Amino acid sequence: YPPFEYIDDGKTVGFDIDIAAEIAARIEKELVIVPIIWDFTYEMPEDIKIDMVISAVTGTEDKEELADFSDPYYIMEYMLLTLSEAKPKLREDFKGEKIGMLTNKSEDFSDEDLKDFTIEVYSDVILMLEALKSKDIEGILISIPLGKNIIEENNGFFSIIEIIKSEREYNIVFMEGSPLRDEVNRILEEMRQDGTYQEIYDRWFALAK
């Protein structure tokens, strides 16, 4: 699930991996990455000792009965993109206009967040971009990981109107009652305060200059 975690030249890399590595360094432990097959029963493998799972997981109230979750380590952000040639340059200019989103992604937002737009849903990124290029829609709302790739692969073709924070949060997962959760929460806050979190974030999500 790039850029959160994926295999590159035989090595597991990504935003999640860098966050986990920094946490391990601060508690003076060796980081051991263990790929597992894991379902939403949140049962840890019995044959492997797992201290925590970091894999773009969203903790919800119903899941809290199955495992413990850290404070959010990432909040999904979306880009409002339009064609660079388009006249509207402010979010207000899109009021009432058709805005494309991928299937189910509107669930990441409250009704208030999307009230100014007429949302058109697409099952595929390519179809959505084609609709934008043909001006069937005025803009698209797309997650930063996907939007970053689109902009960098189409240099100068699209413009970012605004970055919009969604309600989707990613949390680190622990066994119920794990004392590690409080320590990790402390470290995550420490990383934000000293700038380390921003450095890792920029490494994976900032646009290439």
DSSP 98-145: EEEEETTGGGGS-HHHHTTSEEEEES-HHHHHHHHHTTSSSEEEEEHH
What's the pLDDT at 42? 57
The string of pLDDT tens digits covering residues 108-150 is 898 888 999 999 999 999 999 999 999 999 999 999 999 999 9
The string of pLDDT tens digits covering residues 32-58 is 998 876 665 556 556 668 899 998 888
What's the pLDDT at 144? 93
How, if at all, do strands 118-122 and 6-8 pair?
A: unpaired
Judged on CB neighbours under 10 Å (0-12, 13-18, 19+), 105 is: buried
Q: Which residues contact 191 (CB under 8 A, 6 or more apart)?
A: 22, 197, 200
Q: What percent of the chain has pLDDT over 70?
A: 90
Check if the beta carbon of residue 69 is closer than 8 Å to that of residue 174.
yes
What's the pLDDT at 46? 62
**Alpha carbon distance 172, 68 (integer Å):** 8
What's the pLDDT at 43? 61
User: Among 64-68, 74-78, 196-200, which is the least confidently predicted range?
Assistant: 64-68
Domains of the chain and any CATH numbers: 6-73+168-205 (3.40.190.10), 76-167 (3.40.190.10)
Check if the beta carbon of residue 48 is closer than 8 Å to that of residue 34.
yes
Name the average pLDDT for the chain: 89
| Confidence check: pLDDT of 60 > 80 | no
SS3 54: strand
Cis peptide before 3 (omega within 30 of 0): yes
Region 174-194: what's the mean pLDDT?
95
Structure tokens that stand for 104 in this block: 């189910």
Mean pLDDT is highest, among 45-49, 57-61, 193-197, for 193-197
Confidence of residue 156 (pLDDT cuts 50, 70, 90): confident
